[in-house]
Amino acid sequence: MLYTSLLPTILLLAVAAYFLGQRRAERVASAAGGLRQLHSLPSHYGVFVALCCALPGLAVFLVWMACEEQVITAMVAAGLPEALRNLPANELSLVINEIKNVAFGGFTASGGNPAVEAAAGSYLSHLHGVRNLVVAIALLTCLLPGWWALGRIDKDLRARNLVEGMARVVLFGCATVAVLTTIGIVLSIVFEALRFFQSVSPSDFLFGLQWSPQIAMRADQVGSSGAFGAVPVFVGTFLIASIAMAVAIPVGLLSAIYLSEYAASTLRSWAKPALEILAGIPTVVYGFFAALTVAPAIRDLGAMLGLSVASESALAAGLIMGVMIIPFVSSLSDDVIHAVPQSLRDGSLAMGATRFETIRHVVVPAALPGIVGSILLAISRAVGETMIVVMAAGLSANLSVNPLAAVTTVTVQIVTLLVGDQEFDSPKTLAAFALGLLLFFFTLILNFIALRVVRRYREHYE
């Protein structure tokens, strides 16, 4: 009860501290002869006291939130009878789960093991005891610094500088969240991928030609060899991405050129946002459309022409992915084409070139680095795109470059390996992280190059 209302209590205390600080500053001011005698505004003193009150308490609360699970579990595990405590780690975690189920009134599978019942009781009492302790500590860490800050208020306290300094630290902290996210991504993926490479050698993974990530439960099981050669997966990914780019590059580039060089401003003003709609449609919608409409249509068309087309052909997924990527190519290319100085065009047209000749020999060569950058960004989108391929591409890893065959992609494999029951000690689950690692670094490199190229290009003309 106390614990659940801790957060609102801290916030309430902070509000009270603000008003107390402000009042006190006003009183100090009137004693010293008017507000002008104060170093800062009364509200600054209020905020100063409020921050001194709230921040330490919140810190205690957050730290506890993060580690409550581990602490309580360790305490309960220490109190278990000898026989249970010496179980292997995964069985022990089952027992702990059981204890929690009993403690929170959930159903029980073992049907009243007395040791578990006792442990559940001790779990609850530990939880209540420690939580009360945490509440006490948190409130103390609110009240003491708050009281201290209140006492420090006098006309020479540089409250504004202190408050602004704290605010700057908070702003800086928020800015580093992005860096922390990247570090989090790298660490979490690398860590799991390393565990994968302990059981499968990296060279087998990178150059193996067989991908069937099922591990045999019994020695004589059929088709569960557990091969982790990722080449077929990469080939499938690049096949679908190439088909997508074969659609997106011409259509996107031509649209961008038309919009920036030929189109009247009225057409441009509504055609540009209309193209952006394509980027706003959720990919799951594209996936549904590809799987339910485009794939059967292609199969029927193939049957009419006497071709055998897989029902989950790379062509269907690639075509729709290409449509999805058109706006990524067109809007970035449009920006860079727009940035080509008008004087270059004027010069070319004045020499008697037609608009097409100007575009071909002047505008496009001048904009080329930017266009290449936008294409690189689009490729990284295509490679990382998930839902379209999950819904419209196949699961089995065929080593094939035939666009009519079913192939699989990196993202499809990650999804199939991680959706459903997972065991975090089998190479099957960890393989997803190894694939994720490759995907992350591949797209990172593409993005990095693309962003650099585009940036350098912009600086060139600015």
Q: Segment 343-382, which members bind another protein (CB under 8 A)?
A: 344, 347-348, 351-362, 365, 377, 380-381
Nearer to another protein, 223 or 420 (CB): 420
Shortest Å, Cβ 147 to another protein: 26
From 99-107, 223-231, 238-246, 439-447, span contacting another protein (CB under 8 A): 439-447
From 16-24, 54-62, 164-172, 213-221, span contacting another protein (CB under 8 A): 164-172
From 74-82, 204-212, 252-260, 331-339, span contacting another protein (CB under 8 A): 252-260
Among 451, 456, 460, 461, binds another protein (CB under 8 A): 451
301-340 binders of another protein (CB under 8 A): 323, 326-327
Among 415, 426, 428, 458, binds another protein (CB under 8 A): 415
Among 33, 105, 112, 282, binds another protein (CB under 8 A): 282
Shortest Å, Cβ 423 to another protein: 12
Nearer to another protein, 255 or 408 (CB): 255
From 77-85, 172-180, 236-244, 295-303, span contacting another protein (CB under 8 A): 172-180
From 16-24, 78-86, 141-149, 247-255, span contacting another protein (CB under 8 A): 247-255
Count of residues interacting with another protein (CB under 8 A)? 95
Shortest Å, Cβ 144 to another protein: 27
Written in H, E and C, the secondary structure of the chain is CCCCCHHHHHHHHHHHHHHHHHHHHHHHHHHHCCHHHCCCCHHHHHHHHHHHHHHHHHHHHHHHHHHHHHHHHHHHHHHCCHHHHCCCHHHHHHHHHHHHHHHCCCCCCCCCCHHHHHHHHHHHHHHHHHHHHHHHHHHHHHHHHHHHHHHHCCCCCCHHHHHHHHHHHHHHHHHHHHHHHHHHHHHHHHHHHHHHHHHCCHHHHHHCCCEECCCCCCCCCCCCCCEECCHHHHHHHHHHHHHHHHHHHHHHHHHHHHHHHHCCHHHHHHHHHHHHHHHHCCHHHHHHHHHHHHHHHHHHHHHHCCCCCCCCCHHHHHHHHHHHHHHHHHHHHHHHHHHCCHHHHHHHHHCCCCHHHHHHHHHHHHHHHHHHHHHHHHHHHHHHCCHHHHHHCCCCCCCCCCCCCCCCCHHHHHHHHHCCCCCCCCHHHHHHHHHHHHHHHHHHHHHHHHHHHHHHHHHHHC
Backbone angles phi, psi at 211, to 5 degrees: -125, 105
* 167 is an interface residue for another protein by CB under 8 A: yes
From 29-37, 130-138, 179-187, 306-314, span contacting another protein (CB under 8 A): 179-187
Shortest Å, Cβ 53 to another protein: 20
Among 179, 222, 304, 305, binds another protein (CB under 8 A): 179
Shortest Å, Cβ 446 to another protein: 8
The one-letter amino acid code at 351 reads: M
Nearer to another protein, 401 or 419 (CB): 419
What is d(CA 234, CA 242) in angstroms, rounded to the nearest whole number? 12
Shortest Å, Cβ 374 to another protein: 12
Q: Which residues contact 40 (CB under 8 A, 6 or more apart)?
A: 25, 157, 158, 159, 160, 161, 163
What is d(CA 388, CA 285) in angstroms, rounded to the nearest whole number? 8
Query: Cα 434 vs. chain centroid, distance in angstroms?
Result: 17
186-225 binders of another protein (CB under 8 A): 188-189, 191-192
Among 12, 63, 69, 207, binds another protein (CB under 8 A): 69
Shortest Å, Cβ 302 to another protein: 20
Shortest Å, Cβ 142 to another protein: 22
Among 34, 112, 280, 306, binds another protein (CB under 8 A): 280
78-137 binders of another protein (CB under 8 A): none
Among 170, 301, 307, 401, binds another protein (CB under 8 A): 170
378-407 binders of another protein (CB under 8 A): 380-381, 383-387, 390-391
CB 66 within 8 A of CB 46: no
Shortest Å, Cβ 86 to another protein: 23
CA distance between the termini of the chain: 62
Among 418, 426, 428, 458, binds another protein (CB under 8 A): 418
What is d(CA 458, CA 87) in angstroms, rounded to the nearest whole number? 63
From 98-106, 141-149, 174-182, 331-339, span contacting another protein (CB under 8 A): 174-182
Nearer to another protein, 354 or 396 (CB): 354
What is d(CA 445, CA 309) in angstroms, rounded to the nearest whole number? 35
